């Protein structure tokens, strides 16, 4: 396993990416890799609909 220092040395810039779906993340990540970006930070976010539903449920108690 590589250390954080070793990973950071792979690329001077680590883009932070957020996606609504695994498929979207997969396609963009592969394209970035082909383009030379070797170390992205990826966040998978819940869909807006699910976030709204969760928010409504929390307000209702």
Residues 6 or more apart whose Cβ sits within 8 Å of residue 42: 17, 18, 19, 25, 29
**pLDDT higher than threshold 60 for residue 61:** no
Domain count of the fold of the chain: 1
Domain assignment of residue 20, yes or no: yes
Q: Tell me if 5 is assigned to some domain.
A: no
- Tell me how far CA of residue 34 lies from CA of 7, 26, 28, 56, in angstroms: 18, 12, 10, 41
Residue 53 belongs to some domain of the structure: yes
* pLDDT digit string, tens, across residues 30-56: 898 898 888 877 776 666 566 666 665
Q: Nearest CA to 16 among 34, 36, 32, 35?
A: 32
Mean pLDDT rounded to a whole number for the chain? 75
Domain that holds residue 56: 11-60
Please give the model's pTM, rounded to 2 decimal places.
0.51
């Amino acid at each position: 396993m590589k250390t954080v220092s070793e990973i950071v040395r792979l690329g001077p810039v680590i883009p932070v990416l957020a996606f609504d779906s695994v498929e979207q993340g997969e396609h963009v990540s592969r394209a970035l890799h082909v383009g030379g970006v070797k170390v992205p930070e990826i966040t998978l976010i819940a869909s807006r609909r699910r976030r709204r539903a969760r928010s409504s449920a929390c307000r209702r108690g």
